[in-house]
Structure 1
Amino acid sequence: MMLDIDTQEQNKLTGASLALVTQLKTNCVDLASERVGGETLSCSDDFFAGMENLLKPGRGIFIDGKFTDRGKWMDGWESRRSYGRDNGREFDWCIIRLGIKGVIRGFDIDTNYFRGNAPQTVSVEACVSDVQPNEDTVWQTILTEVAVNAHSQNIFEINNNTAWTHVRLNMFPDGGIARFRVYGEADVNWKDFVDGELIDLAYIKNGGKALLVSDMFFSDKNNLIMPGRGKDMGDGWETKRRRDPGPDWSIVKLATKGSIEKVIVDTCHFKGNFPDTFTLEGMVTDSDDFTDGKQAEKWQPIIAKTKLYAHREHLFLNEIIPENTKKFTHVRLNIFPDGGISRMRVFGKV
Structure 2
Amino acid sequence: MEFKDYYKILGIKDNATTDEIKKAYRKLARKYHPDVSKEDNAENRFKEVGEAYEVLKDPGKRAEYDQLKQLGARGRDGSFQPPPNWQSASHFHETFNGDSQFSDFFEAIFGQQGSARRHYSSQGFQQTIKMRGDDVHHRIGLFLEEAYKGCLRTLQFQVPEADNQGLITHRTKTLNVKIPAGVTQGQHIRLKGQGAPGIGGGPNGDLFLEIELAPHPLFHAEGKDIFLSVPVTPWEAALGSAITIPTLGGKVSLIIPAGAQSGQRFRLKERGLPGTPPGNQYAILQLAQPAHHSDKAKALYQQLAQEESHFNPRQKLGV
TM-score class, shorter-chain normalisation, is under 0.3
Structure showing the higher strand proportion among its residues: 1
Structure showing the higher helix proportion among its residues: 2
Q: Of the two, which has the highest radius of gyration?
A: 2
Give TM-score scaled by structure 1 length: 0.21
**Whose RCO is larger (CA < 8 A, sep 6+)?**
1
